[in-house]
Structure 1
Amino acid sequence: YHVTVTTGAMKYAGTDSNVYIAMTGASGEKTSLAKLDNSFHDDFERGSVDKFKVKLEDIGKPVILTIKHEEAGMFADWFVTSAVVQKAGDNAVYKFPVNMWVTGTVDIALGTAKLFHQEENPILLSHRRHELEKKRQEIKWRSPESEDAKGLPGYIFGDALEDLPRNLRLEEGMLKEFEETKKMGKNNIMEKFHGVMDKWDQFADFKNVLMHPKLPKVPDFQQNWERDEEFARQLLNGCDPTLLKRCDELPKKFPVTNKMANSQLTRGVSLEQEIKNGNIYIIDLEMLDGMPCGRSPINQTTYFSCAPICLLYVNSKKNLVPIAIQLWQQPGANNPIWTPSDSDCDWMLAKIYFRNAEANVQLLVGKLFQTHLILEPFAVAVHRCLSQSHPILKLLLPHLRYACAGNLVIRTCLINSGGAMDKLMSYGGGAQKHIIRESFRNFKYEDLNIRKLLAENGTADRTKLPGYYFREDAFLLWDCLVKYVSKIVRFFYKSNEDVKRDEEIQNCIREVRNDGLGWEKGNDKGLPKEITNTEQLVELVVSLIFTATFRSAAVTNGLFDICMNVPNSPLNMALPPPTEKGKASHDLILQSLPSKASSCMQVTLCHALSKHADEQVYMADYPVDMFCEEPAQRAAVHFRDELQRFSSIIRSRNEGSNIPYEYMLPEKVPIAIAI
């Protein structure tokens, strides 16, 4: 037999240990073990493709490849991408996609993707049952008795990365880079400042934090961070571009009058008429109401924030601008409505407090909940319920491989008591998990469908909100995913009856409902009880892939751009929000902003969260070898070509824009969600 083995290209993927193979034929005959070894050659190096000749018994068509890896020495771990077997004198090629860390002995089924009820070979059926049983033993849901789990989406059992199966952990390089980036900020940025507990003397001093050779370039738009147009642009195309909603009626708790807004309305009509015309938008951060603020870990001073509401307006120049801000939910004498007609310092301070609250929501909800934690119920169920031969696992695995491990890092290092975010953000002291729980309480399954979400927000109409580039790119890429996934689904599912009979998919969706979304109170969040047709299946798969890739990139790639300039998006505030007009000054604003220590911590954290690991593969280089079937491979190639074409479309659009929107460019979108 001629055997070709491809070793993964990530760090530490190669091995110096002994490797053996055996094969099982379609009728159950088994070969003996044969060692894979080329004399005077280092086999199985990182990224290598090694070819071997071995003599084994003739078993006809091989359907199972057994790989035995004798782990020993320093370089014992081994990631195998694939193995290909060809019998001498035979043109038939047998492909075995592996895509896993091989520890001990593993059995890999022939790469042909099939649904369980379509498999006719008893050897492969037995292998598939055994594989699923082993998966369910190794991958467990967290204990429902856990206090930390209450109110959160279901997640995997384990308190440390070492508790997870090897193939669900982050790659060594990923975690190492994340930790090194944080240390770089702490050791190299903060060393520039003496007396880091001191307050800032002037706004220009904040730029000193950013002038470090190891930090990315400051984007040009930060020069205009104080302008109303830039404030609104960041809400539209920044790191939480789904917060904005069309305002169809002013809430009673936000009594903005015509008199307050009149000086900002440029079409000569009333506020009520502008609302009817679809030109008024709103962001209401009600979820923050009543949440406790945290304390500085350095001097134990209290952080401050608010639960604000902001009204925005598309003016006659087609620019979105803020026209009113209320810092707390209930109106009153000590909670005025701030407008651009107030003094420059009053208005700036109100905008900064709004941006502080929005930055907390942006990180906790927009990033951690909506693109990380909410994916884990699906990731756990997919890993437990779908066999390696299942076509939907082949579609989802590249995107969800690291989801559980990344979320474990989030729970144990970022939002835990004493974690990085708990120490830094206004809403610490346990409030972070309360905010995430509130987001999960209001979550609906359809929120994962970006077209449905923006339609519900009232922001899907492409004739409204000019310059909403997130929407334009999201719709373009969503539709591209729908076409690709539809081709794959309809190739493997010949009818809706195939969907109904797919017990692996039905078991998967059942676990998501019972153990992931509705484990605590039975609220399944609108997830179907079963998947009954190809349209439902396509929507599910597209929603998961889009969330793990393009939506995740939209809220992550710009994180450092937005938060690097601390006054633009401060994660904590040192003084209580203002309650009276006419009191603000530049000195008061500087005193209200985070200390030098907090500012350095913010720059460090946001840099670490927005930096992608070297191991990441990007959507522009979408892998086309996940399937052995030619129609599926052609669909993957076409999808990759379409992504590259759309990248050109986006870049051409950006050439005509003062501030290019690049966060969803396929070449900047990691294929797998991690931290």
Structure 2
Amino acid sequence: MAVLPQNDPNPSQRDLDLQSKRDLYRYYVPDLPRVPRIVELAAEEKFDDRWSQAETLRQARAEGAALDSLTINLNSFGAYAELHRTLPSKPSVTSHWMSNECFADQRLAGVNPLMIRRVSSSAPLPAASKIDDGHAAETGVKLQTAIDEGRIFVCDYRDLNRLPNLGGFVPTVGLVVPQKRVRAPIALFYWQGDRESGGLRPLAIQTDQDTDVAVFTPKDHPHAWAMAKAGVQVADAHLHQYDSHIVRTHLSMAVFKIAAERQLAQAHPVLQLLRPHLRFLLAINEAAFSVLINPGGYVDELMAPTWLDSMKMVDHFWKTWTFRDLCPLPKELASREMDSVTTPHIAYPYRDDGMLIYGAIEAFVGEFVDIYYRDDSDVTNDVELQLFVAELTAPDRLGVRDLTPDDKIVTLAALKEVLTAAIWTCGPQHAAVNFPQWDYVGHVPNMPLAGYRDLPLEGDQPMEADVLSYLPPNHPPSVVSGKQVAVMYYLGTYRYDMLGYYQDKDFDDPEAWDAVARFQCNLARVGGELFRVDQQRRTSYPYLWPWNIPNSTSI
């Protein structure tokens, strides 16, 4: 039965349990990226038979699609749809990816809805921006007026300036293909109309921060504009993988798993609450380091930088990641002025759906914690919880920054906020950045993982063939595009379980199961509301429907 350490009648057995677990969950910090990793995967952390059986089928389908791609001649945009022909589903964006509406909607409901921020007097346009009133006027917008009205939004990819040689990276895996490229663009957007009937539309794209800068608008040559949009998509894919996906979900929550197992006994209620939401996380991370983000792996082959430079980017985002700014959803949204208080006039599916899911998790966590903790003194007297916090936050240990304002958990309110944010990150947040990969990155021309030629300069009038040549090369026959499709299908189409639905072994307390039942009812109510609202949207956003969210980062 779950019990706090100060109330456990058998503390010596509890201590033995903890010592055994500390031996099992030893960790180290590699040279690059300098992120704590487990020394050896404990038996209970390995994938179970159900996960492994589903993986076998998924891998076979992905490999079949990659093999089939070798027979496809990608000599037109339409030909890219053929890359999905052996798979049981196709990306939802396949038929309309070229539209400006689809491009804009991906900032709010795509694979990386964390880049967009509002432009305001307190958060002005980026210093490197050369987008001015004249560019905005081309599409009928008075820039300063629109800023004052809270209708201008920006995606700034300046973090990619940390990469050397942005103009062209030599391929690292032996393929005879053109140099891969990624730039650091700035993209400006305008919200037109009201919340219900309006929508986001692109205003202008600056192709880089300082070198070979060109600014394009939707009024420019259509192929030049298409290439500028593709440059944004490539940049977005890089920051999605390095930061939004790898660091903010997989790596940030892995240290929670390590600290929880090392410092919380089997009978600790916080461990029992967190475990289902951390299931298979260490296993999937180690698998990723072996086949996805290893030298010569898929990230190395498909994305623009060398493996070493990619890992330096992951290392940078890990060193600058803070829990308090990026994990509690309300604070993360407010940091970009994208919360519903600051920007109530826009429809932002990631935010609007996410806040309802976050609220359901918050209510469940509050009820669960109240079963075991009577008041703040129970929190401060919980020696295991305090050791968990210490291991998690110590700079020479797991190194999480800004867990709370003082890096301590001494109140019920602080405990509930941290646990809510952790569960949100493990389940819904990961769902929001993982599962759209199939719909948006699975269709290669919508979001190529690297560019393969230079972007146009102002005044250029490229041909359709130039746009096609920016995409992965057709020689050797479609191998790069085929692998991109295969990886995105593998990653973006499998859900092990469903948020709020637990295994019999997860809890041993009837009161906890009562709280779970109420959580499930709340999620069902929220899910019905999200489904109803989604029917009226310009772009569907199914990724935060409760039945589409796993409990944990298990893929």
TM-score under structure 2 length normalisation: 0.92
Deviations 1:476-495 (A, max 9, x none): 01111111111111221111
Pick aligned residue for 1:466 from 334, 346, 351: 346
- Please give the secondary structure, in 2, of the residue aligned with 1:224: coil
Pair 1:135-2:21 in alignment:
yes
Q: Does residue 449 in structure 1 map to residue 449 in structure 2? A: no
Partner of 2:312: 434
SS, match of residue 505 in structure 1: helix
Q: Which of residues 121, 129, 132 is equivalent to 1:254?
A: 129
Q: Which has the higher contact order (CA 8 A, sep 6+)?
A: 2
Instruction: In structure 2, give the amino acid aligned to 1:346.
Output: A
The CA deviation at 1:536 is 0.6
1:597 aligns with 2:482: no
Q: What does 1:74-153 align with in structure 2 at a 5 Å threshold?
A: 112-119=1-8, 121=9, 124-142=10-28, 144=29, 146-150=30-34, 152=35
Secondary structure of residue in 2 paired with 1:222:
coil
Q: Distance in 2 between matches of 1:435 and 1:657?
A: 35
Task: Assess if the C-alpha contact under 8 Å between 1:141 and 1:156 holds in 2.
Answer: yes
- What is the CA distance between 1:426 and its match in structure 2? 1.6
Distance in 2 (CA, whole Å) between partners of 1:487 and 1:419 is 44
**Offset of 1:626 from its aligned partner?**
3.9
CA distance in 2, matches of 1:138, 1:671: 24
* Cross-structure match for 1:216: 89
Residue in 2 that maps onto 1:238: 110
Q: Which amino acid aligns with 2:336?
A: N
Whether the 8 Å CA contact 2:221–2:461 is kept in 1: the answer is: no
Change (3 A) 1:536 1:525: closer
Do 1:369 and 1:439's aligned partners in 2 also have CA atoms closer than 8 Å? yes
Report the equivalent of 1:25: none
Q: Distance in 1 between matches of 2:372 and 2:14?
A: 17
- Corresponding position of 1:226: 98
**Does 1:156 find its partner at 2:38?**
yes
C-alpha change, 1:520 and 1:422, in structure 2 (3 Å) is farther
Measured in 2, the distance between the counterparts of 1:395 and 1:460 equals 28
Helix, strand or coil for the counterpart of 1:312? strand
Change (3 A) 1:180 1:426: farther
Report the secondary structure of 1:255's partner residue.
Answer: coil
Distance in 2 (alpha carbons) for counterparts of 1:481 and 1:180: 32
* Cα distance between partner residues in 1 of 2:397 and 2:546: 37
Question: For 2:138, which of 263, 276, 279 is the aligned residue?
Answer: 263
| Contact 1:356/1:570 (<8 A) preserved | yes
Structure with the higher helix share, 1 or 2: 2
Q: 2:553 — aligned with what?
A: 673
Identity of aligned residues (%): 24
Q: For the aligned residues, what is the CA RMSD?
A: 2.2
Counterpart in the other structure of 1:342 = 220
**Maintained 8 Å contact 1:181/1:604:** no
Q: Deviations over 1:284-304 (max 9, x none)?
A: 111111414351632264211
Whether 1:617 aligns to 2:497 is yes
CA distance in 1: counterparts of 2:221 and 2:486, whole angstroms: 33
| Contact 1:320–1:465, Cα closer than 8 Å, also in 2 | no
Distance in 1 of aligned mates of 2:402 and 2:56: 35
> Is 1:624–1:636's contact at 8 Å kept on the other side of the alignment?
no
- In the TM superposition, what is the alpha-carbon distance from 1:652 to its structure 2 partner? 1.3
Residue 551 of structure 1, CA deviation: 0.8
Task: Indicate the residue corresponding to 2:260 in structure 1.
Answer: 382
Question: Does the 8 A contact of 1:328 with 1:335 survive in 2?
Answer: yes
Match for residue 275 of structure 1 among 105, 125, 147: 147
Does the aligned pair in 1 maintain the 2:207–2:455 contact within 8 Å? yes
Give the 3-state SS of the residue equivalent to 2:428 in structure 1.
helix
Instruction: Give the conservation status (yes or no) of the 8 Å contact 1:557–1:610.
Output: yes
Distance apart, 1:471 and its partner CA: 0.7
Gaps of 5+ in 1: 1-111, 158-162
Is 1:510 aligned to residue 390 of structure 2? yes
1:191, distance to aligned residue in structure 2 (A): 2.8
Corresponding position: 1:656 with 2:542? no
1:359 to 2:237 alignment: yes
271, 276, 283: which is aligned to 1:398?
Answer: 276
The answer to whether the 8 Å contact 1:624/1:633 transfers is: no
Q: Mapping of 1:255-334 within 5 angstroms?
A: 255-266=130-141, 270-292=142-164, 293=169, 295=171, 297=173, 298-299=175-176, 301-316=178-193, 318-330=198-210, 334=212
Residue correspondences, number: 537
Letter in 1 for 2:254: E
Normalising by structure 1, report the TM-score.
0.76
Is residue 2:489 matched to residue 1:607? yes
Q: Secondary structure at the match of 2:187?
A: strand
Separation in structure 2 between the aligned mates of residue 192 and residue 499 of structure 1, nearest angstrom: 57
Quote the Cα distance in structure 1 between the aligned partners of 2:119 and 2:397.
34
Kept in 2: contact 1:310–1:322 (CA 8 A): yes
Native 8 Å contact 2:278 2:426 kept in 1:
yes
Q: Distance in 2 between matches of 1:408 and 1:439?
A: 19
Q: 1:519 to 1:406 in 2, by over 3 A?
A: farther
SS of residue paired to 1:184: helix
Among candidates 440, 445, 467, match of residue 567 of structure 1: 445
What letter matches 2:359 in structure 1? Answer: D
Q: Look up the equivalent residue of 1:191 and give its one-letter code.
A: D
What letter is aligned with 2:332? L
Residues 423/179 of structure 1: CA separation in 2 closer, same or farther (3 Å cut): farther
Contact 1:325 1:338 survives alignment (8 Å):
yes
Per-residue deviation, residues 634-672 of structure 1 (Å, max 9, x unmatched): 211101111111111111112223432110111111112
Where does residue 35 of structure 1 map in the other structure? none
Paired residues of 2:498 and 2:549 also in contact (CA < 8 A): yes
- Aligned residues of 2:276 and 2:502 also touching (Cα < 8 A): no
Displacement of 1:522: 6.6
Q: Which residue of 1 aligns with 2:526?
A: 646
* Partner SS, residue 181 of structure 1: helix
Q: Which amino acid aligns with 1:395?
A: L
How far is the alpha carbon of 1:306 from its aligned partner? 0.7
Any conservation in 2 of the 1:367–1:555 contact (CA below 8 Å)? yes
Is the radius of gyration larger for structure 1 or structure 2?
1
CA apart distance, 1:185? 2.8
In structure 2, the gaps of 5 or more residues are none
Counterpart-to-counterpart distance in 1, 2:49 and 2:187: 43
How big is the shift at 1:321?
1.1
Distance in 2 (CA, whole Å) between partners of 1:138 and 1:312 is 50
Tell me the alpha carbon deviations over residues 215-261 of structure 1, each in whole angstroms, 9 at most, x when there is no partner.
41342x43221111110101110111111111121223102111111
1:262 partner amino acid = A
The 1:666/1:499 distance shift into structure 2, 3 A limit, reads: same
Counterparts of 2:283 and 2:148, CA distance in 1: 47
